[in-house]
């Protein structure tokens, strides 16, 4: 009565074990180009994978704490060569009776040592081989910590980092004794325009589409010029690698009516690929426990919009063009009737040409405009009072020797900087910056590598030309890697610091200083890293001599009878030194432990100055432990506990109203965060988080205190199509 078609399946079977022969339970086995077709191993390390049709490609096995391994496979419906029964019937290769057997042996990995980093040397190197000590925060780390923004992830992953408030709740960063004005932030290797209280707008640095964050502590001006006196933080975004169309949507809802909605849309076809990302965030103003000694009693809310688009065209394997464009908008509810607004427009194009195996060239142009305005609601007027526009061009050439043991890098930059500010009394200011730099990388033998760099920078405004050297050395043998080096850093006075003439509500004036000298730093560093199997231990020490640090003077009386004023000045040498210790272990069953301790000491010789920033806390500790388990192909989970613990610090607090300083001790504190994430198949992820797990609240809310009002809750949803 019925005629039915029968469809047979191709069957692949095997076991997954580690290098010691131990069977791995819960290892994922999938098709590399279609991860929807996959399974997990059972208690005996066995897997069975069924495919409905012919297949030629790769099959992949992975397990937490082990390196992923792929094998080529080719299976077809009919095969007559290997097994011929008495009858001339055809047997299927990959059938239930005659499955295709593929076994895997996975090797353990202690950390992401095989990741490629570029910030420390400007040339791609494995993290294990880079001569400059580089900290790496991966997209996986960002997910495990449930980080919402760049300050969140940096504080949880790096000891010695603290974000605090300056005047008017503007955010300042301290990185092991260097404030945000001496730490260079990059997005995909490009500088950011605009600043507030000498820091970049950290709200621009969203975590929506980040591949990794590379951090290089210490002077790096030989490669990156001014503002890299204390370090470089390079945020590298993801590039679409999936074929055809992909879509990922994420959302968050939390305490204080905090909302986040983001989306990443990718498309790849032939030589063309495009990645578009957008993110919208908002949070209400919330109150903190009241105290008459508080520096603030409420934390201002606001909202942001962030759009980014990247186009990649590869006409050939040796030629690549990248274009990007972006728009950022932020509104801060400092005044409900006249909220602050911040906008940024960015765009650029870059070309990479691999001439041959030994020569490559990079040429790029980048545009960035950062504006501030006040929105008067009653009059529906948006009044712009600040605009910083930067146009920059870069050229870079790399030449490698035939045996790949030597690499010469030569490059140069040109940047035009325009600044219009309400803090100027005589119009906008402009300056040009030009530089040339070179780097020579040589592997003496399989154990020793030396990298030397030199940069000369010219500025059109004032006598601020600078020659900056850097020398790094890496020695590796067996499980040990030793890195040491010297680097010179500098920061040229900004246009604001030179020409500012601003009346602070008729109480006093803030004046620039055209005679400011360059701020210079000399960084000496030494680190030792031990890696064995699943364990990694790193110890490092550094010493910085900072000369002519740019800061502001104490309140002075104007001899002309024009009232009181504060002026930008250079001060005597400051010594900043410290040490850091990090231990990490990744157990094969999915348990990861990582803890880092940092000691920082600032030795300030000249007093009688006004610094808007609190000093670094001498002791800080970060801790992360997480457990990741894949139950089966359709369900897995990760539970993570993070902590940051900071010691107390004593500082002089200057009151401009009374022209007097008082000694203030900012108390120690610790913040714990618990996250539980569940994965459903490959498409859906739900995470629940509790920040400030033990409900810490400062007795007094100083600018240098955490801004938490107590325990907060979040729920995150991510859908990947």
pLDDT at 85 > cutoff 50: no
Can you tell me the mean pLDDT for 66-88? 63
User: pLDDT tens, 633-683?
Assistant: 789 999 999 999 999 998 877 666 666 678 888 999 999 999 999 999 889
pTM above 0.75, yes or no: yes
Can you tell me the mean pLDDT for 251-275? 95
Residue written as token pair 């990007």: 324
Q: Which residues neighbour 445 within 8 Å (Cβ) at sequence distance 6 or greater?
A: none
- Structure tokens belonging to residue 638: 């990760």
Class of domain 116-163+199-720: mainly beta
* Residue 629 vs residues 19, 26, 137, 141, 669: alpha-carbon distances, Å: 20, 8, 21, 16, 32
SS3 (DSSP) at 284: coil
Share of the chain above pLDDT 90, in %: 65
- Summary mean pLDDT of the chain: 89
- Strand-pairing partners, residue 680, are 635, 684
CB atoms within 10 A of CB 167: 12
- In CATH terms, the fold of domain 10-106 is Immunoglobulin-like (2.60.40)
Can you tell me the mean pLDDT for 555-574? 83
Of the candidates 73, 49, 362, the residue with the CA atom closest to the CA atom of residue 189: 362
pLDDT given for residue 240 in this prediction: 82
Identify which has the larger pLDDT, 437 or 147.
437
User: pLDDT tens, 206-234?
Assistant: 888 899 999 999 999 999 999 999 999 99
pLDDT at 94 > cutoff 70: no
- Structure tokens belonging to residue 232: 């470089």
User: pLDDT tens, 380-409?
Assistant: 999 999 999 999 999 999 999 999 899 999
- Structure tokens belonging to residue 600: 């920082």
Distance CA(642)–CA(691), nearest Å, equals 9
Distance CA(687)–CA(458), nearest Å, equals 50
Same fold, 10-106 and 116-163+199-720: no
pLDDT given for residue 532 in this prediction: 86
Can you tell me the mean pLDDT for 533-540? 92
User: pLDDT tens, 315-353?
Assistant: 999 999 999 999 999 999 998 899 999 999 999 999 999
Specify whether the CB–CB gap between 131 and 450 falls below 8 A: yes
- Structure tokens belonging to residue 212: 């990794």
pLDDT at 84 > cutoff 80: no
β-pair type (564-571, 508-511): parallel
pLDDT given for residue 634 in this prediction: 85
User: pLDDT tens, 683-719?
Assistant: 999 999 999 999 999 999 998 889 999 999 999 999 9
What is the residue extent of each domain of the chain?
A: 10-106, 116-163+199-720
Give the confidence band of 6 by pLDDT, cuts at 50, 70, 90: very low
Distance CA(87)–CA(601), nearest Å, equals 85
- Structure tokens belonging to residue 56: 């030629």
Share of the chain above pLDDT 70, in %: 92
- Structure tokens belonging to residue 509: 């004036």
∠ Cα 236 242 245 (to 5°): 110
Give the confidence band of 303 by pLDDT, cuts at 50, 70, 90: very high
Q: DSSP state, 181?
A: G
């Amino acid at each position: 009565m019925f005629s039915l078609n029968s469809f047979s399946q191709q069957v692949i079977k095997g076991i997954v074990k580690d290098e010691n022969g131990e069977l791995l339970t819960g290892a994922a086995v999938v098709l590399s180009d279609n991860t929807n077709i996959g399974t997990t191993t059972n208690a005996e390390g066995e897997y069975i994978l069924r495919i409905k049709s012919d297949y030629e490609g790769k099959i992949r096995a992975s397990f937490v704490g082990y390196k992923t391994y792929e094998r080529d496979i080719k299976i077809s419906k009919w095969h007559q060569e290997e097994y011929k029964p008495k009858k001339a019937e055809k047997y299927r290769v990959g059938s239930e009776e005659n499955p295709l057997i593929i076994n895997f042996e996975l090797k353990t990995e202690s950390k992401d040592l095989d990741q490629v980093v570029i910030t420390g040397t400007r040339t791609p190197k494995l993290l294990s081989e880079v001569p400059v000590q580089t900290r790496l925060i991966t997209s996986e780390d960002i997910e495990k910590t449930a980080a919402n923004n760049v300050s969140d992830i940096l504080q949880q992953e790096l000891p010695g980092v603290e974000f605090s408030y300056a005047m008017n709740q503007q955010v300042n960063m301290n990185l092991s004794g260097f404030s945000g004005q001496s730490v260079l932030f990059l997005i995909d290797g490009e500088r950011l325009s605009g600043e507030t209280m000498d820091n970049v707008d950290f709200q621009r640095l969203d975590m929506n589409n980040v591949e990794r964050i590379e951090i290089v502590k210490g002077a790096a001006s030989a490669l990156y010029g001014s503002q890299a006196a204390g370090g470089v933080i390079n945020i590298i975004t993801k590039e679409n690698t999936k074929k055809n169309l992909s879509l990922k949507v994420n959302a968050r809802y939390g305490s204080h009516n905090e909302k986040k909605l983001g989306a990443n849309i990718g498309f790849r076809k032939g030589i063309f690929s495009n990645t578009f990302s957008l993110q919208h965030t908002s949070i209400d103003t919330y109150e903190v426990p009241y105290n008459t000694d508080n520096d603030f009693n409420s934390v201002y809310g606001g909202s942001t919009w962030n759009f980014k688009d990247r186009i990649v065209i590869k006409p050939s394997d040796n030629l690549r063009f990248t274009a990007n464009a972006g728009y950022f908008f932020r509104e801060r509810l400092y005044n409900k009737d006249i909220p602050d607004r911040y906008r940024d427009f960015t765009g650029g194009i870059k070309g990479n040409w691999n001439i041959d195996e030994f020569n490559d060239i990079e040429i790029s142009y980048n545009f960035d405009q950062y504006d501030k305005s006040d929105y008067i609601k009653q009059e529906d007027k948006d009044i712009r009072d600040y605009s910083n526009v930067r146009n920059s061009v870069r050229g870079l050439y790399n030449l490698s020797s035939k045996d790949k043991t030597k690499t010469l890098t030569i490059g140069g930059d040109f940047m035009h900087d325009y600044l219009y500010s309400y803090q100027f009394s005589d119009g906008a200011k402009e300056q040009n910056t030009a530089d040339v730099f070179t780097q020579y990388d040589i592997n003496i033998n399989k154990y020793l590598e030396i990298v030397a760099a030199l940069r000369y920078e010219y500025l059109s405004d004032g006598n601020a030309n600078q020659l900056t050297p850097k020398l790094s050395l890496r020695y590796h043998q067996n499980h040990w890697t030793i890195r040491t080096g010297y680097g010179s850093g500098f920061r040229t006075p900004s246009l604001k610091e030179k020409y500012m003439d601003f009346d602070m509500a008729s109480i006093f004036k803030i004046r620039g200083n055209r005679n400011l000298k360059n701020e210079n730093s000399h960084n000496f560093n030494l680190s030792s890293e031990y890696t064995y199997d699943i364990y990694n231990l790193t110890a490092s020490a550094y010493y910085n001599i900072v000369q002519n640090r740019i800061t502001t003077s104490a309140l002075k009386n104007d001899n002309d009878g024009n009232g009181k004023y504060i002026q930008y000045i250079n001060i005597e040498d400051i010594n900043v030194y410290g040490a850091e210790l990090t231990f990490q272990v990744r157990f094969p069953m999915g348990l990861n432990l990582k803890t880092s301790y940092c000691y920082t000491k600032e030795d300030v010789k000249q007093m009688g100055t006004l610094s808007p920033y609190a000093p670094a806390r001498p002791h800080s500790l970060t801790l992360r432990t997480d457990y990741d388990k894949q139950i089966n192909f359709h369900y897995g989970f990760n539970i993570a506990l993070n902590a940051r613990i900071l010691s107390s610090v004593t500082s002089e607090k200057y009151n401009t109203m009374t022209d007097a300083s008082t000694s203030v001790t900012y108390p120690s504190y610790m913040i714990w965060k618990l996250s539980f994430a569940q994965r459903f198949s490959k498409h859906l992820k739900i995470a629940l988080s509790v920040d400030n797990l033990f409900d810490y609240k400062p007795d007094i809310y100083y600018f240098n205190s955490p801004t938490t009002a107590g325990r907060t809750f979040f729920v995150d949803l991510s859908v990947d199509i």
